[in-house]
């Protein structure tokens, strides 16, 4: 009996060990390029490890049963007439409930840190009239947020392109240029069907809905070029509906902005 | 009351054609209708599978080069619609439900045999209509979700035929649901208590409740959508003041429960198969019943988790996260109970058993990604990507379709009186299991790294992984060959199975195989312990 529980403990610790090792050493996600991304990846890692433990454990249990309890050639008759075990069933009701509850609360915390639970403040004075109802995606508060230092961009999506309107510069661009480490606030509206704004490296996505503006805020943390991908089926060329977001140093961004701007307003 | 209905049906049945012709007739025999559902569903599975192969061929290269882009969208729309409404829902509910439920409750037929036949005969015409819409002006191309305004602005005839077809299929589903509820509640053999019913009855009772409660909502929604298309009303058209997100709420109010309409019957079927082949009682009967009903209740209040990126208030996101994640609890209980059923048994390793165990492994994997997807912050990144595609194929293919095959191997002797070839069956399982995992496991990575779903072209960096996935799809296509050979060879030359080749205790095996028209020659046996394995026979 002691021997049996020794093996059980050995197997369970091996499952945990393997799951933690895979969880910490296998990276399945793209580059982290926004404040959101490391928070997201933290949640991913936890869910990945818990998932691995359950999956590997269940798979071992099934395969072990198939080997250990397979019917041998000389065997006839039935297995043991075990119809249930109330305490065991209570255990595997309560433990998953606790795990699920903890995951739920933890992901609420993650979502809050991403800024998802914040009510939107009306810093978008130039785009929002009071009567207009705006639906929020993640309204992330940046760590190094400076008042009035937010970059506001109006996004219009149509079959099959994104257009980025910089109200302060009064120009429209097909690429989204943003300065690194600055909070970007986007008001998005669709001209035709539903589209979605997705930057995998930022771990953010928000549908762009006709007749219903949506807002998405983010803060890029890494200079580079990343794809903006439409994630909602929008017609035949849906797969080709992509744009570039170019995250650059503030000085480079200012140069680009000044080159394009029609007014003399500086950032 | 039961007896009067039965005698009337037996008169009608004697006028029905005999032999294979009865499968093409308006038969009122629940066994014939069950087989009609199964074969009809399987033919549509072959069509849906061909469309899936076309998708994987297109995605073997990053450019859109195999078919025109709008045809690609038609193909993915038809693939989804056919697989859901014409293969999985009719087969796990209609086929096995019709064949087994009357046996399980000890009746000679379903409560409403004519309604039953009508429910089946709605399927072939609506399915053919759906497929034929391709030749009119192009089939629907807004995805099986048909989100407006895309579904309003794409070519209209295809979308309208799609709506008509889904309405008819929904009607068929409702007729079936009413019939199952009535049969399970009212036609039980005297002396048979609810808590003595085989688990599949409970699964079908729960599923039918979901069908009856949620399918009318889909029907209403699609009728409004058709008004928007035909009569230019503005329910969902933002140009006319409509709201596109309302459509999503109404659509998912049906289509999330639809997931349970597809998996709960599979949960019931696997609960019948595992005890027989492991020679042990089903572990934890009562908790199994309660978890089915728990899933039914929770399944009705989780729909908005499909809309986390649509723009919903924060509290709503939180509620739907918690509700969705909690479905893992009753589902988890069922999986632990199945493993406990295997534990300490005398397991026959045959095709039915292997497909059932493959189901457990695949579904646990899909369930885990499901709990992750329920978390709003997690979902925001992977929503509408290949991660989701991989997740739901693990649920509906790795889960339900594996159980459909398992059930075919298990009940084939019942229907034909012949045994299937185990060698071909195990070959079928091996190719399906490897092909399935090769096809869908890599898609999780694709989604996490930036490949959205429903695209004909993608970033070339994803080509290698997509090709692995396409090879998996090829194996899945090949896997149907040993299965079909097995079916035809076994029907023609299979060894006689005897009446009860598995020594099973559930009522359908306590009659001859194949069963007589009236199910039992004498009175239906009273089976108080359908899972009484290992107990001294009283």
Mean pLDDT of B419-448: 96
Size of interface A-B (CB pairs under 8 A): 282
Q: Which chain A residues are Cβ-neighbours of B377 within 8 angstroms?
A: 39-40, 43, 107, 110-111, 114, 116
Where helices occur in B16-112 by DSSP H, the ranges are 30-58, 69-81, 89, 96-105
List all residues of chain B from 84 to 143 with a beta carbon under 8 Å from chain A. Answer: 141-143
- So what's the ipTM on this one? 0.91
pLDDT for position B535: 80
Q: Tell me: the pLDDT tens digits for B59-70?
A: 999 999 999 999
Q: How many CB atoms lie within 10 A of CB B461?
A: 11
Q: What is the spatial distance between Cα A130 and Cα A108, in angstroms, rounded to a whole number?
A: 29
Q: Tell me: the pLDDT tens digits for B387-416?
A: 999 999 999 999 999 999 999 999 999 999
Q: What is the spatial distance between Cα B219 and Cα A4, in angstroms, rounded to a whole number?
A: 57
Inform me whether the pLDDT recorded for A140 exceeds 70.
no
Cα–Cα distances in Å, from B68 out to B131, B155, B477?
18, 15, 23
Q: Are A168 and A150 in contact (CB under 8 A)?
A: no
Locus of tokens 């697989």: B83
Longest CA–CA span in chain A (Å) reads: 92
Phi, psi (5° rounding) for residue A218? -155, 165
Which of B284, B314, B326 is facing A117, going by the closest CB pair?
B314
Kindly determine whether residue A84 and residue B72, on different chains, have CB atoms separated by under 8 Å: no
Burial of A90 (0-12, 13-18, 19+ CB in 10 A): exposed
Kindly determine whether residue B346 and residue A88, on different chains, have CB atoms separated by under 8 Å: no
Q: Tell me: the pLDDT tens digits for A194-218?
A: 999 999 999 999 999 998 888 888 8
Q: Which of B141, B362, B377 to mutate to test binding with chain A, by most A CBs within 10 Å of its CB?
A: B377
Q: Are B506 and B530 in contact (CB under 8 A)?
A: yes
Q: Tell me: the pLDDT tens digits for B232-262?
A: 998 999 889 888 989 999 999 999 999 999 9
pLDDT for position B8: 45
Going by pLDDT thresholds of 50, 70 and 90, the confidence category of residue B137 is confident
Phi, psi (5° rounding) for residue A212? -150, 95
Q: What is the spatial distance between Cα A235 and Cα A233, in angstroms, rounded to a whole number?
A: 6
Q: Find all residues with CB under 8 Å of A73, minimum gap 6, and list them.
A: none
Inform me whether the pLDDT recorded for B434 exceeds 90.
yes
Find the Cα–Cα–Cα–Cα dihedral B215, B216, B218, B220, rounded to 10°.
170
**How close, in Å, is residue B9 to chain A by CA atoms?**
39
* Pairing assessment for the beta strands A224-229 and A135-136 based on DSSP bridges: unpaired
**How close, in Å, is residue B519 to chain A by CA atoms?**
27
Going by pLDDT thresholds of 50, 70 and 90, the confidence category of residue A263 is low
Q: What is the spatial distance between Cα B267 and Cα B285, in angstroms, rounded to a whole number?
A: 13
Mean of pLDDT over chain B: 92
pLDDT for position A138: 56
> Which residues, in sequence order, are bridge partners of residue B492?
none
pLDDT for position B537: 61
pLDDT for position A130: 39
Q: Tell me: the pLDDT tens digits for A83-120?
A: 888 899 999 999 999 999 999 999 888 888 887 766 55
Q: Tell me: the pLDDT tens digits for B86-96?
A: 999 999 999 99
Mean pLDDT of A173-182: 91
pLDDT for position A223: 95
Q: What is the spatial distance between Cα B31 and Cα A96, in angstroms, rounded to a whole number?
A: 40
Residues B145-161 as b/e (b if ≥16 CB within 10 A, e otherwise) read bbbbbbbbbbbeebbbb
Q: What is the spatial distance between Cα B452 and Cα B66, in angstroms, rounded to a whole number?
A: 19
Mean pLDDT of B431-441: 97
Inform me whether the pLDDT recorded for A266 exceeds 50.
no
pLDDT for position A124: 40
Helices (H) and strands (E) in chain B, counts: 20, 0
What is this structure's pTM? 0.93
Taken in order B25, B27, B29, B33, the sign of the CA dihedral is positive
């Amino acid at each position: 009996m002691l021997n049996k529980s020794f093996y059980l403990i050995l197997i369970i610790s091996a499952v945990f060990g393997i799951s933690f090792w895979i969880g910490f050493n296998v990276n399945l996600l793209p580059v982290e390029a926004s404040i959101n991304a490391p928070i997201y990846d933290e949640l991913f890692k936890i869910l990945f490890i818990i998932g691995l433990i359950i999956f590997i454990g269940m798979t071992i249990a099934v395969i072990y049963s198939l080997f250990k309890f397979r019917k041998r050639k000389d065997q006839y008759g039935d297995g043991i007439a075990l119809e249930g075990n109330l305490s065991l069933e209570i255990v595997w009701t309560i433990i998953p409930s606790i795990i699920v509850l903890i995951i739920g609360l933890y992901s609420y915390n993650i979502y809050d840190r991403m800024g998802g639970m914040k009510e939107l403040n009306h810093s978008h004075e130039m785009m929002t009239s009071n009567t207009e109802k705006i639906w929020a995606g993640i309204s992330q508060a940046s760590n190094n947020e400076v008042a009035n230092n937010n970059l506001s961009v109006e996004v219009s999506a149509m079959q099959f392109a994104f257009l980025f309107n910089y109200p302060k510069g009064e120009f429209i661009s097909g690429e989204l240029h943003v300065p690194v480490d600055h909070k970007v606030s986007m008001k998005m509206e669709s001209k035709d069907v539903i589209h979605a704004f997705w930057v995998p490296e930022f771990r953010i996505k928000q549908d762009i809905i006709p007749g219903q503006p949506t807002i998405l805020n983010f803060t890029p943390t890494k200079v580079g070029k990343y794809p903006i991908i439409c994630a909602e089926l929008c017609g035949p060329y849906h797969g080709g509906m992509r744009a570039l977001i170019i995250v650059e140093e503030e000085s480079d961004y200012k140069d680009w902005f000044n080159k394009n701007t029609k007014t003399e307003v500086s950032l | 009351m039961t007896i009067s209905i039965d005698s009337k049906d037996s008169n009608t049945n004697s006028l029905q054609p005999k032999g294979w012709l009865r499968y093409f007739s308006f038969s009122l025999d629940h066994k014939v209708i069950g087989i009609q559902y199964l074969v009809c569903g399987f033919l549509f599975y072959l069509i849906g599978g061909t469309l899936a192969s076309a998708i994987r061929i297109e995605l073997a290269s990053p450019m859109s080069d195999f078919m025109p882009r709008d045809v690609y969208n038609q193909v993915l729309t038809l693939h989804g619609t056919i697989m859901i409404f014409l293969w999985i829902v009719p087969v796990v509910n209609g086929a096995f439900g019709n064949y087994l439920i009357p046996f399980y409750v000890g009746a000679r037929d379903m409560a409403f045999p004519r309604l039953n036949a009508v429910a089946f005969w709605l399927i072939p015409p609506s399915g053919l209509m759906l497929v034929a819409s391709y030749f009119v002006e192009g089939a629907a191309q807004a995805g099986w979700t048909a989100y407006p305004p895309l579904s309003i602005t794409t070519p209209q005839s295809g979308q309208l035929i799609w709506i008509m077809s889904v309405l008819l299929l929904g009607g068929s589903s409702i007729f079936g649901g009413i019939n199952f509820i009535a049969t399970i509640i009212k036609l039980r053999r005297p002396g048979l208590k609810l808590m003595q019913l085989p688990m599949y009855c409970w699964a079908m009772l729960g599923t039918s409740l979901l069908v009856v409660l949620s399918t009318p909502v889909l029907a209403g929604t699609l009728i409004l959508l058709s008004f928007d298309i035909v009569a230019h009303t503005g329910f969902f058209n933002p140009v006319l003041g409509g709201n596109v997100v309302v459509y999503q709420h109404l659509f998912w109010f049906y289509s999330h429960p639809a997931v349970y309409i597809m998996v709960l019957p599979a949960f019931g079927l696997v609960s019948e198969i595992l005890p027989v082949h492991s020679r042990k009682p089903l572990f934890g009967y009562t908790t199994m019943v309660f978890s089915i009903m728990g899933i039914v209740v929770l399944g009705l209040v989780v729909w908005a988790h499909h809309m986390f990126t649509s723009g919903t208030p924060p509290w709503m996101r939180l509620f739907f996260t918690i509700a969705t994640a909690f479905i893992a609890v009753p589902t988890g209980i069922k999986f632990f109970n199945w493993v406990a059923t295997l534990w300490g048994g005398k397991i026959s390793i045959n095709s039915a058993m292997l497909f059932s165990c493959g189901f457990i492994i695949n579904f646990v994997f899909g369930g885990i990604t499901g709990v992750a997807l329920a978390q709003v912050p997690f979902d925001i990144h992977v929503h509408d990507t290949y991660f989701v595609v991989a997740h739901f194929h693990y649920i509906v293919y790795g889960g339900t379709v594996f159980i459909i095959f398992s059930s075919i191997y298990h009940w084939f002797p019942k229907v034909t009186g012949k045994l299937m070839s185990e060698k071909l069956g195990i070959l079928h399982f091996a190719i399906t299991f490897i092909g399935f995992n090769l096809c869908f496991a890599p898609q999780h990575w694709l989604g996490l790294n930036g490949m959205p779903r429903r695209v004909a072209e993608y970033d070339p960096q994803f080509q290698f992984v997509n090709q692995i996935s396409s090879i998996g799809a090829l194996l899945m296509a090949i896997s149907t060959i040993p299965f079909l050979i097995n079916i035809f060879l076994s029907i023609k030359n299979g060894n006689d199975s005897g009446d009860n080749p598995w020594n099973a205790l559930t009522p359908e095996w306590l009659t001859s195989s194949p069963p007589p028209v009236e199910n039992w020659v004498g009175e239906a046996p009273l089976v108080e312990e359908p899972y009484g394995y290992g107990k001294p026979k009283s």
